[in-house]
């Protein structure tokens, strides 16, 4: 685990891939260029958010397919694909196809639950079955079965000149072992039992904190979730855990960028002070500062201490030159201070 004197194993970042709805190509192209730049900087991974009915990446698999043909080494992940809008059968076909094209570099992060704002578009998504769809973790189980090559058809053989298999094609060996799942403590326990990898983010539930503390701390809850995941994983030494905070280094930033970055973090600080909603959702503060300052803060963070790798989230609303400065400082300044070595 990355405590002082111990190296951070993998460095990555997460992007939403925003674009102008009236002219989406430049924004999508910008995301691909950022991925290319990340590989040249030595990053281990880039992760794509998935956003439906928003000007962000709605088809991360298509974006990963494009990125796989522009890169040769960097891992490409999703954080996360909401399975409530997916058919696990078809999703497995797409994921396996792109994984093979990429040379085995795909890391599918998934989630379950009723899709966000489902009532607004459920008739368009599932016109005949929207009231009986099952949004439970069973969708993850089905996806894993398909990726592992388990039978999905009762028929296997030849009809005329056409050959049929009883499992998803193409099959990409090892892809199922690179599936990630996120969530609170119960999800962490379930993910561990399933032998999945575990994604953490910048939000936790205070309902998960041990002992019913009246003053929940984000880092403590995140650490407890990670400990729970590892405690239930069949091979905790090999289990991968990624931390996903918003971390913005300012080493090479202009004065204007520093001001905007600090204003951004300050504008989101209030939501970190009080748990929100019925499950007491608590947001992490955004981290802004020089790489020396950020390294000190991260080494003191209980969640970071338990993570084997990181995928720091890029803010949603910044400009392209901001992102280029941030990822360069992550790779060239902060990463080395955390003991990370570029690939």
Looking at the structure, give the CATH architecture of the domain made up of residues 10-337: Alpha-Beta Barrel (3.20)
Domain boundaries, the chain: 10-337
pLDDT at 276 (0 to 100): 87
Task: Print the SS3 string covering the chain.
Answer: CCCCCCCCCEEEEEECCCCECCEHHHHHHHHHHHHHHHHHHCCCEEEECCCCCCCCCCCHHHHHHHHHCCCCCCEEEECCEEHHHCCHHHHHHHHHHHHHHHCCCEECEEECCCCCCHHHHHHHHCCCCCCCCCCCCHHHHHHHHHHCCCCCCCCCEEECCEEECCCCCCCCCCHHHHCEEECCHHHHHHHHHHCCEEECCCEEEHHHCHHHCCCCCHHHHHHHHHHHHHHHCCCCCCCCEEECCCEEECCCCCHHHHHHHHHHHHHCCHHHCCCECCCCEEECCCEEECHHHHHHHHHCCHHHHCCCEEEEECCCCCCHHHHHHHHHHHHHHHHHHCCCCCC
**Contact predicate 14/79, CB 8 Å:** yes
Segment-wise mean pLDDT, segments of 10 residues, the chain, 343 residues? 86 96 97 97 98 97 98 98 98 98 98 97 98 98 98 98 98 98 94 97 83 72 96 94 97 98 97 89 97 98 96 94 97 97 92
Would the pTM of this model clear 0.85, i.e. be above it? yes
pLDDT at 214 (0 to 100): 58
pLDDT at 208 (0 to 100): 67
pLDDT at 213 (0 to 100): 53
The β-bridge partners of 44 are none
pLDDT at 111 (0 to 100): 96
pLDDT at 264 (0 to 100): 97
């Amino acid at each position: 685990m990355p405590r002082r004197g111990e190296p951070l194993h993998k460095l990555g970042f997460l992007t939403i891939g925003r674009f102008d709805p009236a002219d989406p190509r430049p924004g999508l192209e910008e995301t691909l260029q950022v991925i290319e730049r990340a590989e040249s900087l030595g990053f281990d991974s880039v992760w794509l958010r998935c956003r439906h009915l928003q000007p962000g990446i709605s088809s991360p698999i298509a974006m990963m397919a494009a990125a796989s043909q522009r890169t040769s080494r960097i891992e490409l992940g999703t954080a996360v694909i909401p399975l409530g809008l997916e058919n696990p059968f078809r999703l497995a076909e797409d994921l396996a196809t792109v994984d093979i094209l990429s040379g085995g570099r795909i890391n599918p992060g998934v989630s379950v639950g009723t899709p966000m704002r489902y009532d607004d578009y459920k008739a368009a998504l599932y016109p005949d079955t929207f009231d009986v769809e099952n949004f439970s973790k069973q969708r993850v189980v089905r996806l894993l079965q398909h990726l592992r090559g388990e039978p999905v058809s009762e028929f296997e053989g030849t009809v005329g000149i056409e050959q049929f298999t009883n499992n998803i094609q193409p099959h990409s060996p090892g892809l199922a072992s690179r599936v990630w799942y996120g969530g609170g403590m119960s999800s962490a326990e379930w993910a561990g039992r399933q032998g999945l990898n575990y994604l953490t983010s910048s939000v936790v539930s205070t309902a998960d904190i041990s002992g019913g503390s009246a003053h929940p701390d984000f880092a403590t809850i995140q650490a407890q979730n990670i400990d729970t995941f590892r405690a239930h994983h069949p091979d905790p030494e090999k289990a991968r855990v990624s931390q996903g905070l918003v971390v913005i280094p300012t080493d090479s930033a202009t004065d204007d960028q520093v001001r905007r970055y600090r204003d951004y973090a300050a504008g989101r600080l209030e939501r970190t002070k009080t748990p929100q909603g019925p499950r007491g959702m608590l947001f992490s503060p955004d981290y802004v500062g020089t790489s020396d300052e950020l390294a000190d803060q991260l080494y003191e963070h209980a969640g970071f201490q338990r993570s084997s790798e990181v995928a720091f989230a890029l803010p949603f609303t910044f400009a392209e030159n901001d992102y280029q400065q941030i990822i360069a400082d992550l790779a060239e300044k902060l990463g080395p201070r955390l003991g990370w070595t570029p690939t």
